[in-house]
Amino acid sequence: MNLNHCRKVSFILQLTILLFFIFTSDALAYLDPGTSYIFQLLIAGLLGILFTIKSYWLKIKSHIMKLIAKEDSSSND
């Protein structure tokens, strides 16, 4: 990426965030404590899964590559 492209992307991102906060409307919604707790658990679980995948990504990737290599070598025989 060149510097000019990064500036354009940064400008578009800043403009989008600004417009998002300028043109807000009232939601007129209420989440009871039980529902907000469930949402919190779901988000924490998802982030935990993503972190675990990220932590073990190299092991997972090497295992998949070994499986692919075995299939390729057996099909070449």
Q: What is the pLDDT of residue 4?
A: 86
Domain residue ranges in the chain: 3-76
For the chain, the DSSP string reads --HHHHHHHHHHHHHHHHHHHHS---------HHHHHHHHHHHHHHHHHHHHHHHTHHHHHHHHHHHHHHHHHHHH-
Q: What is the pLDDT of residue 1?
A: 59
pLDDT in tens, the chain (77 residues): 577 888 999 999 999 999 998 988 887 888 888 999 999 999 999 999 999 988 898 888 898 999 888 877 777 65
